[in-house]
Structures are given as C-alpha cells and as structure tokens.
C-alpha cells in the first residue's frame, strides 16, 4: 500500500504538468477565434467583420465557372489579426472562403497553423481544416487530419484522430476524438486516449479536463503504467490545483512488492494521506501475505497503513496459511525497515495446527514472531495455553517455539470430550511463572515450566472404546520438564524440591481436580478459516 500510493502520487504529479500545459489558446483562442469566429458576439457583429485580401499573384472571376474570386499564387488573406497564406483560394461574396495547398495561418507570438485545405463557412459559423493539420503554440504541437469548430455550440473538435506533443514535458497525447467546450472550459479526449511520457503511460477511453476547476476526469478502463508501478481503474479524477486524486471501480495499484485493490482509492498529495474504501485488499508479494477489510488508510509521514472494518490478514506458508482477524490492523516499518503489524481488539487467529484469541497482537515479519497480549489464549492440537503474554516464533511456515510470560497455564482435556460435547470433564494442567514450548512438525514436543511449577495429570486406562480415568497425579516443584508424543504426555520431570502425589480416582475429590486460576476456554476457540463472527 505504501509504495503503491507513493508511486501513484508521482505519476499523477507528472500528469498534472501535462494537463496545465494544454491551454484554451492552443485549441481555441490561438486558432479558432483568430479565424474570426468570435464566440461571444451576436450574428450582426460577426457580419461586420470582413475578410481582407492582402495579396494574390492573379485574381480571376468567372461566374459561369464559380461565383467567387479565384485567387492564384502567394495568396494572403487577413481576418481579425490572423494572416492566411496559401497557393490558391476561392473568396465568396458571403465572406466564406476555401483555401488550398500549403495552408499557413499565423498570428505573431500566438500560433502557427498549417494544413492542405481550409474551409470557412461564415453563415454556419464553422471552420474546417483538412489533411496534415498542424497547430503549434510555443512548445505544444497539435496534429490531426481534420479539425472543426462550431461557433454556435462553441465546441472545437477533431474526429479522425489527433496527436498533441509537448517538447518541454516530453508528453505525447493521442486519441481518436477530441473537443473543447468554450462555455464550460472543458477539454474532452475520447476513444483510445493514450498519454505517453518517458516516465509513464496513461491509456483510457475518455479523458476530461475542466480549466476553471482544474480537475481532470478519466472514464472507462484506465491504465497508468510506469517502470515500477501500474494503476488500473474504471473511472477516476484528479484535482491538479489541490493535488488530490481518486481511482474508482475495481481500482488497483501494483508495485514491485505490493498489489493494492479497493472499490475506490483516494490520495491527498499535499497532506501525504491516502484512503481505500470497500473491498480493500493489500497483497505483499515478497512476504506472501494479504490484508483485507472495508477501509484502509495510509499516512506518508509515518509510513503507517491501517485497515479496519472486518480486517483480515492471511499469511501463506508452503503447506498452510495463517488467518488473523481483528477490529483494526496497523502496519509500519521498524528501525530496520521490516514490517511490523499490530492487531487491536477482538484478535482471532486460525491455522490448521494453531488457533488463538487475544485483545491485541504484534506480528514481526522480520523474524516471523507473533506476540499476543491481554488475556491471550492459544490452542495447539489438544493443548490450551494461556498467560499474561504469549510469543510464537515460526520458521519456514512451521511453529518453532512458544514463550509464555507470567501466569503460564497449559491445559488439555484428558478425556478428549471438549467442553462443547458435554460429559464429565477432566483436564490435565501445568502451571508456572513462565513456560517455553518446543514444537516438532507443528506439534508440541517439549514443555519447560520455569518457576513455581504445579501440575495435575490424570492417568487413563485404555481398555474398551472409551478411556477411563483411574487416578490423579498432582505435583509441585520449582521447574517442570515434559516430553509429549502424539499429543500424549510421555515423561514428566519435576526439578528441584519435587512433591508429587498419586491418588486413585475413587479417593480423589472434585475440589482437587483444578489448579487455582484454571479456566477452560474451549468455547472461544476459532473453528474455521472464516473468522467473521
């Protein structure tokens, strides 16, 4: 998300320069108005304007051939400050004129126009230039095979393809159709619009720009491509004055490391602030994880990215994936530029071999470490693990080590009934100050309880289909070392000042079946990948 939004800002900033360089004077004031088509005068005022003949090598008039003056050789016509040069022309009594061959129209210091033919219809207030049309205005050049201006609608347009080149910004814009509305001061480029620059390329169906508001709009499938970033949307806008942009409908920003998607992507360049709305998806292709939600936010100054409203992180491993949901997910780089992800409130995690809940969580991608805080609980196979905080270290997609700090408690259902299935409950329990767990093939293999060790372990008789509890082991010591195979305790070592008692189940009392502080939380355990509640 971070690199995608920053790259989007870079592309749009360059686009802004190009948009501002296309002036009204280029398409209208420099060309069409100088042809004598004044858009804000009445028909009577236009009729008083005259086309003046400055020079022609020869002048002929033969009404039987054509009801017009035939001007031949080095023709020069003047109309409202613009001089027209051509090889020949017809000048009609209606003040219409047709100019042919090597057309050049000059207005000193404003523009230079060339073409093969020019047709001016004063009655209909339209002018048409055809074949090889080139209009130059400073560092901007517009070329087209045909250009038309309608004085009545105050619209200039080309319909057979046009090309605008900026030598200053090295921008080239092409489209099948283009127009400019004098009344609304809006440019339209339509049908196969392509803007190219050495740094990026923009292609869309329609590009619209309003000179008053300085807002550009693009419609239809739009692609913005640079060396490192690709942007796609199906409509959007950019306020060039405020440096604010928004990409809508299936919006996507793809960078070298990240793919950002959403119904709409908004960015304020001046404030360095970006937002993504609805169906948010952020995929990190290097770390192979994806974050989804309904709202996302990025703050450039701190490089923080936030996702909320059904926020979900999916971390893909070789053989499995970790699903993590929370009210809010917050990501920012640490001092080593490694991604640190924080999850706040109602945190739930699911992996085929590991599930958990807590109020908050941190995920350090640099060393693949997950830490859970505030009443956390983890389930690994048959084991429930709780403590003040829990730290999980993974290695190559597998759980490697578990560290529980403060009030550590490991419990398992001795009869494997699970609290959801009813029946008598007997729980094996291991309690201590801190606990370290070591995993083998994602299964808990060794447990070391450090400080104030206590345990309750129920001995079972495996005869018949249903195991029966035959006795209870209860012990205390400083530390406890436990070896587990196939989710069954194989060996227990009580270290330093051990005190252990075995009691046949018939002689045990219910009050002795639980260590102080024990609580079975099986009803909270996530059961599926879909973590929505």
Q: Do 306 and 330 touch, CB atoms closer than 8 A?
A: yes
% pLDDT > 90, the chain: 21
| Cβ pair 21, 273 in contact under 8 A | no
Which residues have C-beta within 8 Å of that of residue 466, sequence separation ≥ 6? Answer: none
Q: Give the confidence band of 33 by pLDDT, cuts at 50, 70, 90.
A: very low
The answer, yes or no, to whether residue 36 has pLDDT greater than 60, is no
Give pLDDT, residue 303: 78
Tallying the residues shown for the chain, one arrives at 533
Phi, psi of 490 (to 5 degrees): -100, -35
Please choose, from the candidates 21, 20, 19, 9, the residue with its C-alpha nearest in 3D space to the C-alpha of residue 247: 9
Tell me the C-alpha distance between 423 and 417, whole Å.
7
Q: Please determine, for residue 7, whether its predicted confidence score (pLDDT) is greater than 80.
A: no
Q: Best-predicted range by mean pLDDT among 54-58, 153-157, 467-471?
A: 54-58
> What b/e sequence results for 471-489 when a residue is b if at least 16 CB atoms lie within 10 Å of its CB, and e otherwise?
bbbbbbbbbbebebeeeeb
Residue 6 has pLDDT above 50, yes or no: no
pLDDT value, residue 397: 64
CA dist., res. 406 & res. 384, Å (int): 15
Least confident residue range of 15-29, 198-212, 399-413, 512-526: 15-29
Give the model's pLDDT for residue 421.
Answer: 42
Tokens encoding 158: 């080309």
| Range from 31-35, 115-119, 200-204 carrying the lowest mean pLDDT | 31-35
Model confidence pLDDT, tens digit, residues 127-141: 788 888 887 766 777
Task: Quick: pLDDT tens for 322-378.
Answer: 899 999 999 887 777 777 889 999 999 998 888 999 999 998 877 778 899 999 999
**Separation CA 204–CA 201 (nearest Å):** 10
Question: In this predicted structure, what is the pLDDT of residue 88?
Answer: 93
**Mean pLDDT for the chain?**
80
Closest among 239, 223, 165 to 197, alpha carbons compared: 165
Residues whose CB falls within 8 Å of the CB of residue 364, separated by 6 or more in sequence, listed in order: 334, 338, 340, 370, 371
User: Residue 211 has what pLDDT?
Assistant: 67
**pLDDT-based confidence at residue 29 (cuts at 50, 70, 90):** very low
Residue-wise pLDDT for 382-407, tens only, equals 889 999 999 988 777 677 888 999 99
Span 27-42, average pLDDT: 37
Long-range contacts of 357-366 (CB under 8 A, 24+ apart): 357/521, 357/524, 357/525, 357/526, 358/390, 361/324, 361/326, 363/313, 363/324, 364/334, 364/338, 364/340, 365/287, 365/289, 365/338, 365/339, 365/340, 365/341, 366/334, 366/336, 366/338, 366/339
Q: Which residue has the higher pLDDT, 48 or 120?
A: 120
Which strand (E) or helix (H) includes residue 254?
strand 244-254
pLDDT score recorded for residue 527: 87
In the prediction, which pLDDT does 356 show?
Answer: 92
Tokens of 533: 């509640």
For CATH 2.60.450.10, list the domain ranges present in the chain. 24-160, 369-517
Q: What's the CA dihedral at 514, 515, 521, 522 to 10 degrees?
A: -50
CA gap 467, 28 in Å, rounded: 92
Q: Decide: pTM greater than 0.95.
A: no
Q: What is the pLDDT of residues 470-509, one digit of tens each?
A: 888 888 899 989 888 876 778 888 888 788 888 888 888 8
Distances (CA, A) of 388 to 393, 409, 500: 17, 10, 27
**One CATH from 2.60.450.10, 2.60.260.20, 3.40.50.300, 2.40.100.20 for 369-517:** 2.60.450.10
Whole-number Å distance between alpha carbons of 51 and 47: 10
CA dihedral of residues 243, 246, 252, 254 (deg, nearest 10): 0
- Its CATH architecture, for the domain 24-160, is Sandwich (2.60)
Comparison of pLDDT for 10 and 418, the residue scoring more? 418
Whether 75 shows a pLDDT value over 80: the answer reads yes
- Rounded to whole angstroms, the Cα distance separating 525 from 515 reads 21
User: What is the SS3 assignment for 407-471?
Assistant: EEEEEEECCCCCCCCCCCCCEEEEEEEEEEEEEECCEEEEEEEEEEEEEEEEEEECCCCCCEEEE
């Amino acid at each position: 998300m971070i690199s995608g939004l920053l790259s989007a800002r870079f592309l749009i900033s360059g686009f802004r320069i190009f948009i501002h360089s296309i002036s009204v004077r280029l398409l209208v004031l420099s060309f069409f108005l100088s042809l004598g088509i004044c858009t804000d005068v009445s028909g009577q005022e236009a009729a008083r304007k005259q086309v003046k003949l400055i020079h022609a090598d020869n002048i002929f008039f033969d009404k039987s051939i054509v009801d017009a003056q035939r001007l031949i050789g080095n023709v020069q016509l003047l109309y409202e400050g613009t001089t027209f040069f051509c090889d020949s022309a017809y000048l009609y009594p209606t003040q219409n004129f047709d100019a042919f061959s090597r057309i050049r129209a000059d207005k000193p210091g404003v523009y230079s126009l060339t073409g093969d033919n020019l047709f001016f219809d004063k009655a209909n207030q339209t002018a048409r230039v055809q074949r090889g049309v080139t209009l130059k205005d400073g560092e901007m050049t517009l070329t087209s095979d045909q250009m038309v201006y309608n004085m009545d609608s105050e619209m200039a347009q080309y319909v057979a393809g046009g090309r605008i080149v900026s030598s200053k910004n090295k921008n080239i814009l092409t489209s099948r159709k283009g127009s400019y509305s004098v009344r609304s001061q809006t440019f339209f480029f339509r049908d196969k619009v392509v803007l190219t620059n050495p740094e990026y390329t923009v292609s869309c169906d329609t590009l619209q720009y309003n000179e008053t508001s300085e807002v550009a709009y693009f419609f239809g499938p739009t692609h913005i491509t640079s060396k490192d970033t690709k942007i796609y949307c199906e409509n959007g806008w950019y306020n060039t004055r405020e440096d604010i942009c928004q990409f809508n409908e299936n919006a996507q920003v793809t960078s070298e490391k990240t793919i950002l998607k959403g119904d709409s992507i908004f960015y304020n360049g001046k404030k360095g602030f970006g937002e993504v709305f609805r169906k948010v998806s952020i995929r990190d292709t290097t770390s192979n994880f994806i974050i989804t939600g309904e709202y996302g936010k990025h703050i450039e100054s701190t490089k923080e990215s936030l996702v909320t409203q059904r926020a979900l992180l999916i971390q893909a491993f070789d053989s499995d994936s970790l699903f993590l949901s929370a009210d809010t997910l917050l990501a920012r780089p640490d001092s080593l530029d490694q991604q640190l992800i924080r999850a706040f409130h109602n945190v739930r995690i699911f992996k085929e071999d590991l599930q958990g809940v807590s109020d908050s969580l941190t995920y350090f991608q640099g060393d693949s470490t997950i830490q859970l805080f505030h009443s956390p609980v983890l389930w690994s196979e048959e084991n429930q693990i709780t403590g003040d905080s829990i730290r999980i270290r993974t290695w190559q997609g597998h759980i490697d080590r578990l560290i529980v700090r403060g009030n550590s408690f490991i419990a398992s259902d001795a009869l494997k009934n699970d609290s959801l299935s009813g029946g008598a409950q007997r729980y094996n329990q291991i309690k201590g100050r801190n606990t370290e767990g070591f995993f083998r093939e994602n299964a808990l293999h060794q447990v070391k309880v450090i400080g104030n060790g206590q345990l309750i372990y129920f001995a079972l008789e495996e005869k018949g289909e249903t195991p029966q509890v035959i006795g209870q082991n209860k012990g205390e010591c400083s530390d406890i070392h436990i070896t587990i195979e196939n989710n069954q305790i194989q060996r227990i070592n009580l270290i330093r000042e051990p005190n252990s008692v075995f009691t046949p189940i018939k002689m045990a009392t219910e009050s002795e079946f639980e260590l102080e502080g024990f609580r079975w939380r099986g009803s909270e355990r996530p059961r599926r990948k879909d973590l929505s509640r």
